[in-house]
Chains A and B, each alone.
With several copies, the nearest count.
Chain A
């Protein structure tokens, strides 16, 4: 098999994952072409890429989801490959096919593999045929509400509605009773359409309080498939992961081996190429159910990188060129423990409601074994149009305990002013006995934890700060309204700093 040249990559994405791809390419000496919608002109991926091209208005369907335009712009810019990131068009087989047909290299699995695994219902069939247990539920996705309601009645509530093309909790709804079904169905379809351009939804029996464990696989075009062990993603809110860790603290070694073997088997079943993730629900008794396979780089891939030393984004590009994998299964060793904290622009104390806005102050934690994959900076306005995840804090420790204590240290250093984030909430999770023990499940993020966060206030300190701030505001030299005062105070201080230089 001949090798493909990749010298300039179109990145069909935005945010931190676009930045991640820019970095991987830069290390390989490959140029990158960023695309940006109107509100993203000043986004970090635009700043860091070699080239940057406007792609259209804010609405994703007119910009990051416009496959035809992406391909045209990629060709015009002289790209020889396309990296889709995650979300948007990353699991769209038609786009993958169009990219390949355009003569550019698609950095991902074949359209056939995406189709086989991308349809959650199709993947269930394949896995059932291979003897892997799956969650009971409907097999054929339906656009007919009456049929769906009948099926829900058959299986019995609670049921879970899921977007057929989905992932990341989008288009997903837990439904407790028939009363709620129609509204949930509308909402799930509407979200699914916006997120994936496909409003097909299916249902399955809701398994309450399982653990969510997934296996990273990596495959080349020469038939080699390896796994890079598991990740535990059980800390979720609104069916979306918020903290991930590896290794899974409760997984028995024999279950780990069985799960990893199944994941490799799943990848081989569809001639998988590139980085992929096989997701499972893990029961208390060590039984596990196939959930779905994500046929792209996963948000939480960095924790696997931290414990294995393998750069997954670079490996994707390497195998897309047609090279054989640099490592055999025996080369993959897990050292230490890693956790990822997803920094969302959202307010945990208001039910994790999105909180987009202007980031006034942004200072990342630094120092040993701290990694931040971010798409933002101070002065950037987080747009209302896209996913609320602005950064990922990734921590490595020699042991799980060290990883926890280092995470707490890093979260204390993380300074974001202007938008709400779950940083303080995460510090609470780290103090929680259930989390520290490692024995928790997907129902872990409860109301009690959120109440504790509110209780952590330091009212006397805040009162002192407010009183001083008000005093400064009241005594500012020229009163032109509060905002102008704050601004002028700041400039005075800045000038003072300048003057003081030679004192």
Chain B
């Protein structure tokens, strides 16, 4: 099985084959290596590859894998190219303001129909005693406010659409 593996702007072609000792893995057509891959704690894996020992954290995060290598996180997707065609292209969400931080909406600074300039503060979300003032992602009109003051929001939640 060969996967198309994407990390940000970088794409690798990675072949994987199960063996008695673990997996035979080849990257971008280079000679495959034997990889010994063991689960230790519930989401920590031990890798032995080319004699080197690595410990990585591994979580499934929607269609992606969230991989922690000694405190540095990597968001990676691995797709079987044969299935890739089946995927739908997502719509553009350039004007949609999302929160990276989970928390609670403390203040709305705009109302639907208001005109805003890119960079203008439009909403304040708070978590852990810190207020995060979020700015309009683009020039435009407030089309849709999807949250209200006091509401709890998860990481990644859509807040306000500017068009």
Residues of A within 8 A of B14 (CB): 463-464, 466-467
Given A377-B41, A379-B40, A490-B39, A46–B46 Cβ distance below 8 Å? Answer: yes
Q: Check A50 against B131 for contact (C-beta < 8 Å).
A: no
Given A42-B40, A462-B76, A418–B59 Cβ distance below 8 Å? Answer: yes
Q: Check A387 against B128 for contact (C-beta < 8 Å).
A: yes
Q: Check A415 against B55 for contact (C-beta < 8 Å).
A: yes
| Min CB gap A329→B, angstroms | 37
For the complex, is B96 an interface residue (Cβ under 8 Å from A)? no
Q: Which of A296-342 contact B (CB under 8 A)?
A: none
Q: Which of B55-72 contact A (CB under 8 A)?
A: 55-60, 65, 67-72
Output the nearest chain B residue to A168 by Cβ-Cβ distance. Answer: B129
For the complex, is A354 an interface residue (Cβ under 8 Å from B)? yes
Q: Which of A42-70 contact B (CB under 8 A)?
A: 42, 46-53
Q: Check B70 against A462 for contact (C-beta < 8 Å).
A: no
For the complex, is B92 an interface residue (Cβ under 8 Å from A)? no
Q: Check A463 against B18 for contact (C-beta < 8 Å).
A: no
Q: Check A363 against B67 for contact (C-beta < 8 Å).
A: no
Q: Check A424 against B72 for contact (C-beta < 8 Å).
A: yes
Q: Kindly state the interface size class of chain B when it binds its partner.
A: 35 or more
Residues of A within 8 A of B35 (CB): 464, 468
CA distance A301 to B137 in the complex (A): 42
Residues of B within 8 A of A464 (CB): 14, 25, 27, 35, 47, 49
Q: Which of A414-438 contact B (CB under 8 A)?
A: 414-418, 420-421, 423-424, 427
Residues of B within 8 A of A354 (CB): 101, 103, 127-128, 130, 132
Q: Check B73 against A360 for contact (C-beta < 8 Å).
A: no
Chain B 100-123 interface 0/1 with A at a Cβ cutoff of 8 Å (1 = within) = 111110100000000000000100
Given A363-B41, A387-B128, A468-B37, A52–B53 Cβ distance below 8 Å? Answer: yes
Q: Check B72 against A457 for contact (C-beta < 8 Å).
A: yes
Output the nearest chain A residue to B63 by Cβ-Cβ distance. Answer: A482
For the complex, is B141 an interface residue (Cβ under 8 Å from A)? no
For the complex, is B44 an interface residue (Cβ under 8 Å from A)? yes
Q: Which of A187, A466, A486 is within 8 Å of B5, CB to CB?
A: A466
Residues of B within 8 A of A386 (CB): 128-129
| Min CB gap B125→A, angstroms | 10
Q: Check B71 against A475 for contact (C-beta < 8 Å).
A: no
Q: Which of A34, A417, A424, A482 is within 8 Å of B44, CB to CB?
A: A417
For the complex, is B158 an interface residue (Cβ under 8 Å from A)? no
Given A187-B133, A468-B16, A471-B23, A41–B38 Cβ distance below 8 Å? Answer: yes
| Min CB gap B104→A, angstroms | 7
Residues of A within 8 A of B54 (CB): 461
Chain B 129-163 interface 0/1 with A at a Cβ cutoff of 8 Å (1 = within) = 11111000000000000000000101100000000
Residues of B within 8 A of A378 (CB): 41-42
CA distance A182 to B42 in the complex (A): 49
Output the nearest chain A residue to B4 by Cβ-Cβ distance. Answer: A467
For the complex, is A130 an interface residue (Cβ under 8 Å from B)? no
Residues of B within 8 A of A489 (CB): 39
Given A353-B132, A461-B69, A502-B152, A47–B55 Cβ distance below 8 Å? Answer: yes
Q: Which of B37, B65, B154 is within 8 Å of A502, CB to CB?
A: B154
Q: Kindly state the interface size class of chain A when it binds its partner.
A: 35 or more
Q: Check B74 against A459 for contact (C-beta < 8 Å).
A: yes
For the complex, is A72 an interface residue (Cβ under 8 Å from B)? no
Residues of B within 8 A of A427 (CB): 70-71
| Min CB gap A427→B, angstroms | 7
Q: Check A415 against B57 for contact (C-beta < 8 Å).
A: yes
Q: Check A42 against B46 for contact (C-beta < 8 Å).
A: yes
Residues of B within 8 A of A467 (CB): 3, 5, 14-16, 25, 78
Q: Check A470 against B78 for contact (C-beta < 8 Å).
A: yes
For the complex, is B93 an interface residue (Cβ under 8 Å from A)? no
Q: Check A361 against B71 for contact (C-beta < 8 Å).
A: no
Q: Check B59 against A466 for contact (C-beta < 8 Å).
A: no
| Min CB gap A316→B, angstroms | 23
Q: Check B74 against A457 for contact (C-beta < 8 Å).
A: yes
Residues of A within 8 A of B45 (CB): 465
CA distance A420 to B78 in the complex (A): 22
Q: Check A458 against B25 for contact (C-beta < 8 Å).
A: no
CA distance A250 to B74 in the complex (A): 38
Given A51-B51, A471-B16, A474-B1, A355–B101 Cβ distance below 8 Å? Answer: yes
Chain A 446-472 interface 0/1 with B at a Cβ cutoff of 8 Å (1 = within) = 000000010011111111111111110
| Min CB gap A43→B, angstroms | 10
For the complex, is A102 an interface residue (Cβ under 8 Å from B)? no
* 9 A-B contact pairs sorted by A residue (CB < 8 Å): A354-B127, A388-B127, A414-B71, A463-B76, A468-B16, A468-B23, A471-B1, A471-B16, A490-B42
> Residues of B at under 8 Å CB distance from A?
1, 3, 5, 7, 10, 12, 14-16, 18, 23, 25, 27, 35-49, 51-60, 65, 67-74, 76-80, 100-104, 106, 121, 124, 127-133, 152, 154-155
